[in-house]
Structure formats: structure tokens, C-alpha cells
């Protein structure tokens, strides 16, 4: 009998698990740029990203840019995401854009549950679940955002908050759809503030999120990409991305500059 395998150290095993996951850097442009500026930005990203093969690049421009941007990224490895989608499939919902319409425009990902949507547009877990289900039904992978605010962090409630956000939405999707979901952990106190979670804080909560997911979905949680978001920039990306449960970043401000966005992507 050979017991050698039981004495193998942990790091090689972690490395193998890590390789199973896709590293992703996604740029959330929010309500910035005109179409012309957006096309210029994505053209620069296309040009500068040619040698990047270790990370999946995603851009999430405003709805109005989607057609023009999709033309620019055709034939490249860059994928298109929306920043939102409607919670209803179709019909009399003035001003909304459905998941079906987005899929029709080659949109492969949708940011759902961003803290700005939760806070300013009062999007509840009930609404977010409808959006996630509609995205999945139309072949779009949700980039589902979770994260605590400053009070919740200071009161040490961040674990409970993200667990609840995940339970209320992700636990309610079909088990076969779960593997299409990407999680973005974005502490609200770090978004657009210049404050970043430390790499240790990110790792701690990413590992916890994976543990919560594996409680419901078992081994499938090992292949879920969990992105960090919150004032991620070229100067801090390398350290944050070096952590075993951080599989990339959702980038706001720094994604509006092609050099910064590419430098972050090269941090892997
Ligand atoms: C975001 O809004 O998703 C985000 C991470 O923003 P920033 O990088 O600007 O903090």
C-alpha cells in the first residue's frame, strides 16, 4: 500500500484547482463615454491586448454602444457584456432592454446586482433573481455582484451579507446553470473611492464565497470565477490577483483607460 499521496503538501493541489478556473478582467464603463469615445477606447484595447492569452477580457459599455463595439471586437478574444438587463422578458416596460435583445447583439455576459443598481434603483434580490434567470435563459452569463457597505464591514457582518446575497439569488438557479455564473465581490466602500480591500481581505472573503457556493453546488464551485472589484488599478492588481481564490477583477474607473485596463490584465 502506498500512503505517499496523503503526505503531499497543499499548494500543488491548489494550483491544479486554480488552473480549472478562467481568469477574467472585465471593464465596467458605467455611464461614461460617447459612442465615438467608446469605439476609440475599445479599438485601443483590441490593439494592446493582442498578446494576452492568460486572461479573458470583457468590456461592458453602455447599451447605446453595444452595436458599434460588437463590430469592433468581432474576430477578437474580447467579449461583450451589458451592465444590466430587464427583469421581464418582453412587453410594455418602457425604457428597458431585455436579455433576448442583448443576446441578439452578441452580448455574452451581463453585470447583474451591481451595488449602484441595488442602491440607486432599489433592485432587490427578487428582481435580481429574475434578471439572472432571464440572462441564463438567453445564453448570457451573469456577472453577479455581491458586497457589503462600510457599516456592515465595520460591524463585521460582511460574511453574513454576501452569504445572504448569494443564497437569495444564486442558490435559486438551476444546478446546470450554476457553472455559467461569475461572481464579483465588490465591497461598496471600495468602489470608486480609491480605497481597496487588501489582498488578504479579498482572499478571505473570496474563499468564504467559494465555501458558501460549494455548500450548495459541491465541486462545481471550484470552477466558479470569483472576481474582485473596488478601486482595482495597475498598482494593486498583481497582489490581489496573486491570491488563490481571486480569479480576476471587475474594473470600473481604470477600465476607461486602455493602458491601465491592459496593465491590470497583464497582472496575472
Ligand atoms: C465597479 O463599479 O464595478 C468598480 C469596481 O469601480 P471602481 O473600479 O471604479 O472602484
Tens-place pLDDT, residues 155-201 = 999 999 999 999 999 999 999 999 999 999 999 999 999 889 999 99
**Angle formed at CA 208 by CA 206 and CA 214, multiple of 5 degrees:** 105
The pLDDT of residue 100 is 98
154: confidence class by pLDDT, cuts 50, 70, 90: very high
pTM confidence score: 0.93
Q: Which atom of ligand 1 is nearest to the CA of 28?
A: 3
CATH topology of domain 24-84+96-265: TIM Barrel (3.20.20)
User: How close is the Cα of 102 to the center of ligand 1, in Å?
Assistant: 22
Q: Is the pLDDT of residue 88 over 70?
A: yes
Q: Which residue's CA is the closest to the ligand 1 atom numbered 7? A: 252
Residue 19 has pLDDT above 80, yes or no: no
Query: Separation of 5 CA from ligand 1 center, angstroms?
Result: 43
Q: Is residue 114 annotated as part of the catalytic site, yes or no?
A: yes
pLDDT at residue 12 above 90?
Answer: no
Q: Give the pLDDT of residue 29.
A: 98
Residue 79 has pLDDT above 80, yes or no: yes
Domain assignments of the chain as residue spans, ordered by start: 24-84+96-265
For the question of residue 206 being annotated catalytic, the response is no
| Cβ atoms 205, 159 nearer than 8 A | yes
List beta partners, residue 227. 184
Residue 256 has pLDDT above 60, yes or no: yes
Pocket test of ligand 1: the residue of 29, 146, 252, 265 to mutate, having most ligand atoms within 8 Å of its CB, is 252
Q: What is the mean pLDDT of residues 210-219?
A: 98
Q: Catalytic: which of 65, 114, 158, 206? A: 114
Q: What is the mean pLDDT of the chain?
A: 93
| Helices 234-241 and 258-265: angle between axes, nearest 10 degrees | 20
Residue 6 has pLDDT above 80, yes or no: no
- pLDDT of 4 > 90? The answer is no
pLDDT at 194: 87
Amino acid at each position: 500500500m502506498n500512503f505517499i499521496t496523503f503526505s503531499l503538501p497543499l499548494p500543488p493541489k491548489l494550483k491544479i484547482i486554480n488552473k480549472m478556473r478562467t481568469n477574467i478582467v472585465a471593464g465596467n464603463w458605467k455611464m461614461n463615454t460617447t459612442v465615438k469615445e467608446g469605439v476609440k477606447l475599445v479599438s485601443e484595447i483590441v490593439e494592446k491586448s493582442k498578446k494576452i492569452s492568460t486572461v479573458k477580457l470583457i468590456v461592458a459599455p453602455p447599451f447605446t454602444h453595444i452595436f458599434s463595439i460588437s463590430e469592433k471586437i468581432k474576430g477578437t478574444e474580447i467579449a461583450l457584456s451589458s451592465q444590466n438587463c430587464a427583469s421581464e422578458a418582453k412587453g410594455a416596460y418602457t425604457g428597458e432592454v431585455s436579455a433576448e435583445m442583448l443576446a441578439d447583439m452578441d452580448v455574452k455576459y451581463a453585470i447583474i446586482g451591481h451595488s449602484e443598481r441595488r442602491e440607486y434603483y432599489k433592485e432587490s434580490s427578487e428582481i435580481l433573481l429574475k434578471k439572472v434567470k432571464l440572462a441564463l435563459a438567453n445564453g448570457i452569463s451573469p456577472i453577479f455582484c455581491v458586497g457589503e457597505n462600510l457599516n456592515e464591514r465595520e460591524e463585521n457582518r460582511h460574511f453574513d451579507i454576501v452569504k445572504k446575497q448569494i443564497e437569495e439569488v444564486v442558490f435559486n438557479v438551476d444546478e446546470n446553470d450554476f457553472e455559467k455564473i461569475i461572481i464579483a465581490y465588490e465591497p461598496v466602500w471600495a468602489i470608486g473611492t480609491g480605497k481597496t480591500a487588501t489582498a488578504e481581505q479579498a482572499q478571505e472573503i473570496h474563499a468564504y464565497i467559494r465555501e458558501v457556493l460549494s455548500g450548495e453546488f459541491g465541486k462545481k464551485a471550484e470552477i466558479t470565477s470569483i472576481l474582485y472589484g473596488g478601486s482595482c488599478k495597475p498598482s494593486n492588481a498583481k497582489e490581489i490577483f496573486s491570491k488563490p481564490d481571486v480569479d480576476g477583477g471587475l474594473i470600473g474607473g481604470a477600465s476607461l483607460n486602455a493602458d491601465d485596463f491592459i496593465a491590470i490584465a497583464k497582472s496575472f
